[in-house]
Amino acid sequence: MHEGHEQMFRRRFFVSTILSIPVLLYSETLQEWL
Q: Contact 20/26 with Cβ under 8 angstroms?
A: no
User: Is-above-0.85 flag for pTM?
Assistant: no
Secondary structure element (H or E) that encloses residue 9, with its range: helix 5-25
Each domain of the chain, given as residue ranges in start order, spans 2-32
Each residue's pLDDT tens digit, 1-23: 677 889 999 999 999 999 999 88
Residue 1: per-residue pLDDT: 64
- pLDDT score at 3: 78
DSSP designation for 26: T
